[in-house]
Structure formats: C-alpha cells, structure tokens
Structure 1
Amino acid sequence: MKRIFTLLMGGLVLFSTACDSDKESGVTGSEWFLTPESTVNGTTVEVRCETKFGAGVLTGANSGFTYAAVTSAGVGSFESTATATASGSTIAATLSNLQPETLYVVYAYADFGGARMQSTGTTFTTGTVTDLPDPDPDGPAFGTPEATNVTASGATLSCGFAFEQPTADYTLYFEYRPVSGGSYTQKSVTAGTGVKSVTLSGLTASTAYEFRLCAEWQGESYVSGMGRFTTSSSEGGLTAYSGWAELPMVQDKSDYYYAYHLCPDVYVPGTNNRQLRRNYSVCYSDDLKCAIWVAAPMHTCYAQKNTKRTDAYREDPDISVSQPGKWEGYTRGHLLGSSERLVSNATNRQVFYYSNIAPQLGQPYFNTGGGAWNTLEDWVDTQWGNTADTTYQVIGCYWADRNKKVSGTTIPTHFYKVLLRTKGHKNKWVVDCSRDELQCIAIMIEHRTYSKSEVPQPSQYASKGLLMSVKALEEKTGLTFFANVPNAPKDTYNPLDWDL
C-alpha cells in the first residue's frame, strides 16, 4: 500500500537526496514504511507513519522519527524524537520547539536487534511561532484547544494559557467526555503561563470526544473554547484525516494508491486564506487500473459557476503508477462530476485526473443524458443543492467478475454511490450528531446498456432493488465507509428520508 499525501500546508517540497543518504548509511527496509505524513501547527508538528509491520511487532522495537532542518547552507544535524507512540502498525510523535518558517526533512524508523529500518523521507515547512493569548487582567486567558496523536485509545490535548496571578492561587486542568454526553473526566496540569498539554489513554475507539482547558480561581471557574477529536477504529484501520467525514478506511493492499486533493485556490472561510478546502480523495488500484472509490464533500460552495468545464484530462500527479485514460468502446466517466466542482479553474482541472475517471458505456443510456448513471448523478445533486449543510459522498466501482479488460483496465460491472447527511438538513457537523440525527444510504447501478424505457428513475430505485444499507454494501465490497463518523446509522436506511 502506497500513499501520496497532498498536505494541508502550503506545498510539499520533495527532498531528492533522501534515498541516497539511506543507501550510504546502510539503512534498509524502506519498503516496510509508507510515506510519513505531517500536520503543522506553528512550530509544533504532528508526524505519523503507517507501516506494514504486523500487530505487536513495533511494541518490542525502538521506533520514532529523525528529522533535520534544510536551509540554503544544506541539511542540518539530525535529531531523533525523545518519545513516540506505536499503536498497531502506526508510529506517531509530536515535534516541538522547531524553528519557525523552516523546511524540515523527516524519516520514520524502527530498530530491530541493532539494525535500523527507515522510511523514505518527506518534508514539511513550519509556520510562525504559536502566540499565547494576551493576559487578561480580570482572569485567565486561553488559546485554541487542539488534539494531536489521536489513536483508537488515546490522544494528546494542548491549549495555550496566560495568567499573571501566582501559580499557587489557582488550579488548572483539562476535562473531556464523549460528545454524546456523560460526566467530564479531569486531568490536572501545572499552573503558569505557557502551552499546556496532557496525554489521554483508555479512550473508546470510533468515538467523538470534546474537551477544554479549565482554571479554578477564587471560587470561580474559567474555561477555554471547546475542542473536538474522534478516535480511530479498534479494527486498526485508519483514515488519512480524522476530521474528513467522507473518508472510507484505508486498506492494507499492496496495489492500492491513495491521494488527497485540496482545492489549489479555494480557502475555508475565516482562516485568512491559510487553510485550503479539500476537493476529493481517491483510492486507486494498480492491478485493476481503475479507482476503487472517490470520496468528496458536496456543498453549493463547490458548484459556484466561476469557471467552465476544463476538459484537462491527464494522469493524477499524486498517484505514482500509470493510469489509462481512454478505452475503446467506452466513455470517460467521471466519478466526481465536473459540474460539482466549478468553483475555480484549478479545482475543476483536478476532477479530470484519470484517477477520477472510469470506463463507462455511453449510448445507449448509461453515461449519457437521460442515462442510468447520469440520472443517478442528477438525483444526488438534489440532496445537497441549495442546502445549508454538507452531504458526504463516496462514488465507487464494483466488480462482480473480472472477465473484461480494455486498455489495461478491468471494466467494472457496477457503479455505486454512498451518501451521508443530517436529517432535515441540520446545519451541524455530522461527527457531532447522534445516530437519530443522521441518515445514510447506498445505491448501486449495474453497468450495462439500457433502453430508454429501462433506465431506472429515482422513484423506482426501491422497487428495482437498487437501494441498500451502507452496511450491506460494506459486506459486498469489503470496504468500511464513513470511518470518522462513529454514529452513522450504516445498518439501516429509509427511502422516505431521501424522498424516494
């Protein structure tokens, strides 16, 4: 399994000498590691690397990360993390006190019997120094609470804090609980101005938590804003980004390649043009030469008509294997549609990557106006168009058999869509919702030619047996959908919730 990550910072610079330095030092075993990924928060960086080691192997090894600054003078001295966590097959650590606005190269490693195995290198660029909140003469001041190193059973919580009173006069602690409710659990931290952090353990897998930093002073309670995180699955599976509700679970298959595309020039409101919106994610099979799935958030903000269809067909630059893009007798069928990503020219160009294109029959009546697939696409657009909330969609290919191959691609026998949103279009993040506030459904269409009268209409989806629960589709495909939404009601569906 290999993954190329489009990181949430401004541009990843590949450090070309990394592989050569591995060879010269005698370090081997990079094939056991995936590419490390990183999340930058000022001069603190969370790094994580998934590996191919079996369960328990890392427990007995000395594992962690080694990193160095890269400047105009060259590569600086490498340092190793003092502490790192190994959970299942994943190594994670937090690098702190780094130089601001500096390029770093980082490797993951594991030592076995005196021999070191090391990943290939990747890079990140630090931001500016995280500012502590300005002191408040009337009481404690808090920064923004954050959670890092999130696993199935643990997390590290942090929050900036400033207070000019003597440390003996007040107490300071984090409190946390499941978003679904219940009593808070408290973890004390030392008083005094600075960034406060605590490591949690014993959490429940696939559960959304909320937390905050609290101070008690002169009989009064003061609290920070509320932070949130979601633990990963106890099955050991992961997604690349725990806050992306649409992502299926990553699978440990050697021919699967993953890419996570951000809109190059479209930003999340309120972030001062610092956080890019995500476009779509893809799992691509090198054996089948076709996407397994494409996952994307669906909202009117993406479909604003600021550009025309670009027709910029090309290989996905973040998938490091060849990708066919033309098939005799078949059209180039979008999984995530071009019309759903018209917010900018650069964003639309990404949906023409071959990783988002599958061979689909055109005439008669599959991937054409009024065809079976286009009718389904048009219906899905009614679920999120002109609404306040987001619909999360996975579009996928399915092979009941693998008998037909064209231009290297095994032709899918079916295509499907999986949807998740709030009931009644609540303007609420799905991760924070209870089971009763959510609805999800799967629709699978056979990939064949249709006569005009055979094209299933949305009102016929139930009677023609095209609808199923997300759980039923999971059993059919072997995938795990909506892994970051623990309360998703995947075992049931109600056609009436979808106006079907």
Structure 2
Amino acid sequence: MKKIFAFLLLGLTVAFASCGDEKTEPGTDWFLTPVAEVNGTTVGLSCQTRFGEGVLENTSVGFSYAAIVDNKIGAFADVAGSAVDGTGIAAALTGLQPETNYLVFAYAGLSTGRVQSQGAVFKTGQDDMPDPDPERPAFGTPAASGVTKTEATLNCTFNFGDTADYDVYFRYKPASSGSYDRVNVSTGTGTKTAALTGLTPGTTYEFALCADWGGQTYTSAAATFTTSSDGGGGGGNTGSAKYSGWPELVPEDKSNSDYHYAYHLCPDFSVDGHKARNFTVCFSAKHHCPVWVAAPRHDCYEGSANRTNAYGKDPIILSSIQYNSKSIGGGCNKGHMLGSAERTRSTAINKQVFYYTNIAPQYSSGYNTGGGGWNTLEDWIDGKVCRDTTYLVIGTYFEAYTDGYGMSASPKKISFGGRNDVSCPTMFYIAALRTKRGNTGKSVLNCSADELMCVAFVRSHNNGLHGQKVTSRELMSISDLEKLTGHAFFANVPNAPKSSYNPSDWGL
C-alpha cells in the first residue's frame, strides 16, 4: 500500500465553506492536516485533532470530499460514521474515480456548530475494483457532481455477481424531511450514474445507491449534496405542488402509496438557462397505467425530429410496475397521453414520450384510430394551443362512467404490454388552461381570473364515439373534475376560474 501524506491546497478552503452549512466554522486550530493512504481507488483517511480524550465520542464527525476536475471543485459529499480513535478520526473511501484528484476536509459537529480542518488533496490510482462477490451486493462510496440549482449527477460503484432478478437504484430526498424518490439504473457490476433534475434550489439532499435482491434492500453509505440558492429562476417549492412555477402541475398525493411520480425535463432544450420541462407523470402500481400526465403545449416544443417509436420503460418509475413490452391486447393499441407530434423539437425529447408511463391502452377500432373518439378530441385541442402557453393535464379514470353523450364503460382487467393485470381505463379527460386572448405575452401566474379560461373535456372509453365531433356536452368544470377524480388541478394558478366555464370561449 502506498502512503501519501496529503498536502494543503491553498485557496480552496473558502470555496468549500461557501457550499456547506452556513453554521460551519473553519476551526482549523482543532485539527492537524488530514492524511490519505491511497490504494488504487480505495483511500483510507485519518486526521489527528487537538480535542481532549472523550470529546469526540457521541459527536458527529467525518470527512467531506469532492473531486477536482479541470481545476474545478465538484460537489462535496460527507462520509458519516467515521471511527473515533482517541483524539483522531478515520474513515475509508471506496469506489472513487481512478487517477483523479480529490479535496478532503475533516469535520466535527459540536454544540456550537460544525468545525473543520484545512483542506488536503490526494490522487487516486488505477481502478482496483475487486471481483464481484456473489454473496451480496457491495457498494463504493457515493458522490455527487455537477450540482446546480435544480440538477445533480450521482455516481457510485457497485459489485454483484448474481444473475438473478434484482433492481439497482439511487434513492434521494431532502435531508430535513420528505420521502425518498428513486432513479433506477442498470444492473451488473460497474459505476452507476444517475442525472437528477427538477431539484429544489438551496436544499440539502441525502442519497444512497440501493439494490433490492432476495427480498432485502442493500444500501451504500449515505452521502449529501446541496443545490445552489435560487436567484429567481428554476421554479421553487412554495406551493402545494412540487414546483410552484409549473402551472400544469398536479400536487403529489403523499397519502397514496399506489402513485409513483416522475418529472421529465428536456435533455437538450433549455429556456432562460434551465432545461425545459417535457412532462410530469403520475403512474399507478395497482392499475399499471398512467393516472395523469401534465405538460405545457407551445410551438417551441415542435420541430423536424421524426417519430422515434422508442417504446421502453421509464427510468424514473419502478420497473416492475410498468408494462413489460410494447405488445398490445384487449382490443386496445398504445395510446399516448402526451402525443408524439407534440414533442418533435429533438429526437431526445421525442424519445421520452415513448416511455411506457406515457402510454395507456385505448380501443383501436373506434377510439385511438383515424376518426376515433380520442383522436378527434386530440386534433381539436391542437387547434386551441395558442401563442401563450397552453397547459394540459391528460388523465384516466377507472371506475364505471357514463359521459355526456350517454356512452358508458365499466372497469375490467386486460392483457396488455406483456402483462395480464392491466386496468382498462373507463374514461379519459383533458384538463386545459390558457389565456383567453392567447397572445398576451403574460404568464398565467400573473393573470387575473377574467384573463384566464380553463375546462375539462371528458369522454368515456367507448368505440361508439367514433366520428363524434367535440361539443359542449363533454365539458366539465375543473372543480367538478376534481371532485370526481380526487386530484387538484392547476393548484399553482390561484386565479384559475376552476368553478365555471363558458363554452363559447372554446368555440363551442
């Protein structure tokens, strides 16, 4: 084993202090310089202190570290659970990036605040990842990089040689509260990476890499990162919905464990320095079907990209509750909630709308076909998309339902998407919100109720609607739709006139 006595990197201590807890105090007089013993990508850290015997017992101590790439310091992660040895502390880092410089600090959380050592730098060697251990999943040390106001990239090495079915994923949540969200990654030994989007500015998150295998959940050590403060863009978290700046967003139902959520941003399209949102989905584990998809409609999302037909599982939603294939059945074909033609700005954006979580079974003979009941409504809605952004929530319903045309549908299970337990929706709806004029140049968040119009278009899932033109008989107030479905629509737009509508505003 090669021992490297890490040297102080001048000028970087201030950079670290600005990224951490505002209560952090330098306190460098209490620490000697950290020492690193490097063996490939495994590093043993130690640091002697000037604290008296017993002071560090039952105290939060550890190390914070970050990769240095192109002379820039990445996001710091804390290594908690470090061992206390008298007046010193020690910890082991595994699964680091090979041949990479890292900056490290020792810290101690005292009653008066957190104090830390001066910074030191070590460089890892070549990858020394051991052979996979078939006995149980094994993890390296998780780290975060590329942290901005709303984004971060997580990475962690993973060893496991078992070929049986298992899931690997990152879980993350605000450190102070909340439930875990998850991002599935591929199985097999190697470095796992996940890009997080839609995070809340100025928030500390904790995360870990996990593997579900043999009825148990195995996890890596926990690590943290902190998003930068919001300077006015990016959408905060001040309302009942997850992001207050998204007018179409439906609040998550935290009391319903059946619902799983994913917030998809456009991979290669940004607005005002932030990645544009593509769509948000609520997916049901019970029904194996989308509950609702919320999305903005604007011509900026349209371009010359071809339809990709890239059907596949949503990487954010639990894999086991989604369809297993793109096969059809039950007299239904694959019905997009947010249509492919509405996302043609780029191939990457179009691929996202082919996630199974954006697909519901729709009857192929008279509903999701040329002149079908749903296609007719979709085409009509296309004509209502205005220069100001139009906000849509496209949803499903699974109880017995009869619509304004007298068309009925009853609940049933069908074989669809490689499963035999998929609920066939009894009704589909489109909740729409926009400005009345359509070309005000104003955000709906800044409009009065008199400047806005919103309504729901509701059609039973019934082949008898083939050729049915859109009429006022299918209109429903947003408030009535909320009572029917239990969802809160346009919660971020307090002036949305949800209790009333005027058919003539919509040309009916």
TM range (shorter): 0.5 to 0.7
The answer to whether 1:372 aligns with 2:384 is no
Q: Which amino acid aligns with 1:309?
A: R
Contact 1:307 1:343 in 2 (8 A): yes
How many Å apart are 1:327 and its aligned residue?
Answer: 3.3
**Selected match of 1:314 from 312, 319, 332:** 312
The answer to whether 1:260 aligns with 2:257 is no
How many Å apart are 1:227 and its aligned residue?
Answer: 8.4
Once residues 405 and 467 of structure 1 are traced to their aligned partners in structure 2, the CA distance between those partners, rounded to angstroms, is 28
Q: Which amino acid aligns with 1:400?
A: E
**Selected match of 2:246 from 240, 244, 247:** 244
User: SS at 1:474's partner residue?
Assistant: helix
Tell me the equivalent position of 1:422.
435
* 1:27-46: CA deviation from partner (whole Å, max 9, x where unpaired): xxxxxxxxxxxxxxx9999x
Once residues 371 and 297 of structure 2 are traced to their aligned partners in structure 1, the CA distance between those partners, rounded to angstroms, is 22
Contact 1:109 1:119 in 2 (8 A): no
For the structure 1 residues 120 and 433, does the alpha-carbon distance in structure 2 shift closer, same or farther, using more than 3 Å as the test? closer
Contact 2:237 2:243 in 1 (8 A): no
Tell me the equivalent position of 2:139.
none
User: SS at 1:472's partner residue?
Assistant: helix
How many Å apart are 1:388 and its aligned residue?
Answer: 2.2
Tell me the equivalent position of 2:160.
none
Once residues 102 and 447 of structure 1 are traced to their aligned partners in structure 2, the CA distance between those partners, rounded to angstroms, is 41
Tell me the equivalent position of 1:450.
464
For the structure 1 residues 346 and 228, does the alpha-carbon distance in structure 2 shift closer, same or farther, using more than 3 Å as the test? closer
* 1:13-62: CA deviation from partner (whole Å, max 9, x where unpaired): xxxx9xxxxxxxxxxxxxxxxxxxxxxxx9999xxxxxxxxxxxxxxxxx
Structure 1 regions of 5+ residues with no counterpart? Answer: 1-16, 18-41, 46-69, 84-97, 112-116, 127-145, 150-196, 199-224
The answer to whether 1:413 aligns with 2:412 is no
Listed as ranges, the matches of 1:161-180 within 5 Å are none
Once residues 429 and 152 of structure 2 are traced to their aligned partners in structure 1, the CA distance between those partners, rounded to angstroms, is 44
User: SS at 1:254's partner residue?
Assistant: coil
For the structure 1 residues 124 and 360, does the alpha-carbon distance in structure 2 shift closer, same or farther, using more than 3 Å as the test? closer
Listed as ranges, the matches of 1:234-383 within 5 Å are 238-252=240-254, 253-268=256-271, 270-271=272-273, 275-304=274-303, 306-322=304-320, 323-324=322-323, 325-328=326-329, 329-363=331-365, 365-383=366-384
Tell me the equivalent position of 2:396.
397
Once residues 351 and 121 of structure 1 are traced to their aligned partners in structure 2, the CA distance between those partners, rounded to angstroms, is 20
For the structure 1 residues 472 and 309, does the alpha-carbon distance in structure 2 shift closer, same or farther, using more than 3 Å as the test? same
* 1:420-451: CA deviation from partner (whole Å, max 9, x where unpaired): 00111121101111111111000111101126
How many Å apart are 1:369 and its aligned residue?
Answer: 1.0
User: SS at 1:261's partner residue?
Assistant: strand
User: SS at 1:374's partner residue?
Assistant: helix
Once residues 349 and 291 of structure 1 are traced to their aligned partners in structure 2, the CA distance between those partners, rounded to angstroms, is 17
How many Å apart are 1:255 and its aligned residue?
Answer: 1.6
Once residues 147 and 405 of structure 1 are traced to their aligned partners in structure 2, the CA distance between those partners, rounded to angstroms, is 42
Tell me the equivalent position of 2:211.
none
For the structure 1 residues 226 and 319, does the alpha-carbon distance in structure 2 shift closer, same or farther, using more than 3 Å as the test? closer
How many Å apart are 1:411 and its aligned residue?
Answer: 0.6
How many Å apart are 1:310 and its aligned residue?
Answer: 0.8
The answer to whether 1:471 aligns with 2:479 is yes
How many Å apart are 1:231 and its aligned residue?
Answer: 7.4
Q: Which amino acid aligns with 1:412?
A: P
User: SS at 1:293's partner residue?
Assistant: strand
User: SS at 1:348's partner residue?
Assistant: helix
Q: Which amino acid aligns with 2:311?
A: Y
Once residues 318 and 384 of structure 2 are traced to their aligned partners in structure 1, the CA distance between those partners, rounded to angstroms, is 34
Once residues 406 and 125 of structure 1 are traced to their aligned partners in structure 2, the CA distance between those partners, rounded to angstroms, is 35
How many Å apart are 1:321 and its aligned residue?
Answer: 3.1
Tell me the equivalent position of 2:12.
none
How many Å apart are 1:301 and its aligned residue?
Answer: 1.0
For the structure 1 residues 107 and 415, does the alpha-carbon distance in structure 2 shift closer, same or farther, using more than 3 Å as the test? closer
For the structure 1 residues 398 and 467, does the alpha-carbon distance in structure 2 shift closer, same or farther, using more than 3 Å as the test? same
TM-score normalised by length of structure 2? 0.54
Contact 2:411 2:426 in 1 (8 A): no
Superposition RMSD in Å: 4.5
Once residues 348 and 467 of structure 1 are traced to their aligned partners in structure 2, the CA distance between those partners, rounded to angstroms, is 30
Contact 2:182 2:316 in 1 (8 A): no
For the structure 1 residues 466 and 266, does the alpha-carbon distance in structure 2 shift closer, same or farther, using more than 3 Å as the test? same
Tell me the equivalent position of 1:160.
none
Listed as ranges, the matches of 1:6-405 within 5 Å are 72=100, 108=174, 232-233=238-239, 238-252=240-254, 253-268=256-271, 270-271=272-273, 275-304=274-303, 306-322=304-320, 323-324=322-323, 325-328=326-329, 329-363=331-365, 365-384=366-385, 387-401=386-400, 403-405=411-413
For the structure 1 residues 79 and 278, does the alpha-carbon distance in structure 2 shift closer, same or farther, using more than 3 Å as the test? farther
Tell me the equivalent position of 1:494.
502
How many Å apart are 1:403 and its aligned residue?
Answer: 3.4
For the structure 1 residues 80 and 242, does the alpha-carbon distance in structure 2 shift closer, same or farther, using more than 3 Å as the test? farther
For these two proteins, the number of residue pairs brought into alignment is 315
Q: Which amino acid aligns with 2:414?
A: V
Contact 1:258 1:283 in 2 (8 A): yes
How many Å apart are 1:78 and its aligned residue?
Answer: 7.4
User: SS at 2:395's partner residue?
Assistant: strand
Tell me the equivalent position of 1:170.
none
How many Å apart are 1:399 and its aligned residue?
Answer: 1.4
Contact 1:423 1:439 in 2 (8 A): yes
Tell me the equivalent position of 1:438.
452
Once residues 461 and 297 of structure 2 are traced to their aligned partners in structure 1, the CA distance between those partners, rounded to angstroms, is 24
Percent identical: 43
Q: Which has the higher contact order (CA 8 A, sep 6+)?
A: 1
Q: Larger Cα Rg: Structure 1 or Structure 2?
A: 2
Contact 2:398 2:411 in 1 (8 A): no
For the structure 1 residues 227 and 248, does the alpha-carbon distance in structure 2 shift closer, same or farther, using more than 3 Å as the test? closer
Once residues 415 and 379 of structure 1 are traced to their aligned partners in structure 2, the CA distance between those partners, rounded to angstroms, is 15
How many Å apart are 1:308 and its aligned residue?
Answer: 1.1
How many Å apart are 1:228 and its aligned residue?
Answer: 11
TM-score normalised by length of structure 1? 0.54
How many Å apart are 1:229 and its aligned residue?
Answer: 7.6
How many Å apart are 1:319 and its aligned residue?
Answer: 0.7
Structure 2 regions of 5+ residues with no counterpart? Answer: 1-41, 43-71, 76-95, 114-146, 156-171, 184-192, 204-228, 401-409, 416-420
For the structure 1 residues 481 and 312, does the alpha-carbon distance in structure 2 shift closer, same or farther, using more than 3 Å as the test? same
Tell me the equivalent position of 2:66.
none
Once residues 487 and 44 of structure 1 are traced to their aligned partners in structure 2, the CA distance between those partners, rounded to angstroms, is 42
User: SS at 1:389's partner residue?
Assistant: coil
- List 4+ stretches of structure 1 deviating above 3 A: 42-45, 70-83, 98-111, 117-126, 146-149, 225-233
Once residues 234 and 278 of structure 2 are traced to their aligned partners in structure 1, the CA distance between those partners, rounded to angstroms, is 23
